[in-house]
């Protein structure tokens, strides 16, 4: 373990709340995303001691009755934060109906095709269809975006590898992942990367972001490298300049998993919150194929 990883791990352990979860910022109440990322980060550092066990208990206890996870216990609606919870829990050690319901919740969030009549109406108005098939929303019932779709691909991919879905949902996993990857490819920016994922309507010149480019590329493992040459170039171009932790971490994880050689401009970016600490620990450890492995299995 590097000195930086050791220091970050100590910070993460100190930041754990008495209830077992983690806040985004200290002091604060426990939220789903930092707690699930903390579990992933600790596991990647081979630390599955008492802190990990307490964190896992917190996450399991906060699952909603509908199978999903809300962003925090104070929120009553399950959202795409379910994907990071499933990603953290689907390590093969746990095969319960509750986790299978989490997988189903994710599968049910996939946006379908916009109805034909609505498509025609929107085309007449000069607007892009609000929903593209295969993508997942941040919040149920809204449009799909890059980050929740990519996180869903990673979670469903890990669930498939760990065999935690119900028998009925097992067959839904691979087609859903494939459609989600198609959605990601359909939202590539002109420069070859990805931004938050808005349509090109009135934003055709919008540039890609490093963090979503890294995250999307991580979720596109299994797609032919020939299809990803422009995204690779765009991702590598971001690394020429120093990047925030989130961006650097997703880019590093993605390019490593795709077997690309990294040339990093900044060696030690500043972690601003718990999520940053976790992402940095994940990038430093590279948890490997088990956590962020090939998703499409095409």
Interacting residue ranges for other proteins, rule: CB under 8 A: 24-25, 28-29, 31, 33, 71-72, 74-76, 79-80, 126, 137-139, 141-143, 145, 147-148, 195-196, 198, 202-203, 205-206, 209, 211, 244-247, 270, 272-273
Task: Count Cβ atoms within 10 A of the Cβ of residue 5 and give its class: 0-12 exposed, 13-18 middle, 19 or more buried.
Answer: middle
Please identify, using beta-carbon distances, which residue of 142 and 298 lies nearer to other proteins.
142
CB of 82 to other proteins, least distance (A): 13
Q: Is 22 helix (H, G, I), strand (E, B) or coil?
A: strand
Asked if the peptide bond before residue 241 counts as cis, ω within 30 degrees of 0, the response is no
**In angstroms, rounded to a whole number, what is the distance separating the alpha carbons of residues 110 and 112?**
6
Ramachandran region, residue 114 (left: φ > 0; alpha: ψ -120 to 50; beta: rest): beta
Please identify, using beta-carbon distances, which residue of 205 and 261 lies nearer to other proteins.
205
CB of 259 to other proteins, least distance (A): 27
Task: Please calculate the CA angle 183-197-194 and round it to the nearest 5 degrees.
Answer: 85
Q: Is 137 helix (H, G, I), strand (E, B) or coil?
A: strand
CB of 28 to other proteins, least distance (A): 6
Please identify, using beta-carbon distances, which residue of 206 and 297 lies nearer to other proteins.
206
**In angstroms, rounded to a whole number, what is the distance separating the alpha carbons of residues 196 and 179?**
18
| Residues in Cβ contact with 122 at an 8 Å cutoff, skipping those fewer than 6 apart | 114, 128, 129, 130
CB of 69 to other proteins, least distance (A): 12
Please identify, using beta-carbon distances, which residue of 169 and 211 lies nearer to other proteins.
211
CB of 250 to other proteins, least distance (A): 11
CB of 225 to other proteins, least distance (A): 28
CB of 75 to other proteins, least distance (A): 6
Q: Is 240 helix (H, G, I), strand (E, B) or coil?
A: coil
CB of 54 to other proteins, least distance (A): 21
User: Which H helix or E strand runs over 145?
Assistant: strand 144-145
Do 180 and 153 touch, CB atoms closer than 8 A?
yes
Helix 245-257, helix 210-219: angle, nearest 10: 30
Query: What's the alpha-carbon Rg for the chain, to the nearest Å?
Result: 19
């Amino acid at each position: 373990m590097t000195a930086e990883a050791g220091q970050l791990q100590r910070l993460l352990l100190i930041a754990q709340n008495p209830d077992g979860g983690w806040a985004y910022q200290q002091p604060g109440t426990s939220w789903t995303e930092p707690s699930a990322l903390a579990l992933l980060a600790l596991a990647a550092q081979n630390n599955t001691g008492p802190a990990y066990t307490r964190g896992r208990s917190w996450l399991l206890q906060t699952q909603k009755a509908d199978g999903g996870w809300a962003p925090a216990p104070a929120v009553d609606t399950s959202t795409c934060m379910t994907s990071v919870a499933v990603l953290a829990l689907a390590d093969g050690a746990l095969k319960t109906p509750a986790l299978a319901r989490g997988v189903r919740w994710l599968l049910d969030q996939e946006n379908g095709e916009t109805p034909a009549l609505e498509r025609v109406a929107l085309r007449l108005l000069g607007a892009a269809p609000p929903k593209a098939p295969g993508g997942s929303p941040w919040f149920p019932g809204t449009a799909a975006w890059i980050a929740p779709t990519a996180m869903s691909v990673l979670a469903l991919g890990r669930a498939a590898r760990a065999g935690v879905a119900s028998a009925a949902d097992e067959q839904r996993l691979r087609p859903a992942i494939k459609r989600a990857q198609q959605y990601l490819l359909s939202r590539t920016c002109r420069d070859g990367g990805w931004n938050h994922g808005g349509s090109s309507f009135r934003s055709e010149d919008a540039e890609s972001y490093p963090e979503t480019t890294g995250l999307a590329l991580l979720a596109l493992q299994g797609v032919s490298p020939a299809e990803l040459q422009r995204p690779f170039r765009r991702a590598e171009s971001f690394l020429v300049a120093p990047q925030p932790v989130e961006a650097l971490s997703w880019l590093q994880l993605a390019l490593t998993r795709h077997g690309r050689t990294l040339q990093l401009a900044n060696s030690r970016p500043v972690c601003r919150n718990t999520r940053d600490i976790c992402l940095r620990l994940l990038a430093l450890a590279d948890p490997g194929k088990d956590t962020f492995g090939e998703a499409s299995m095409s």
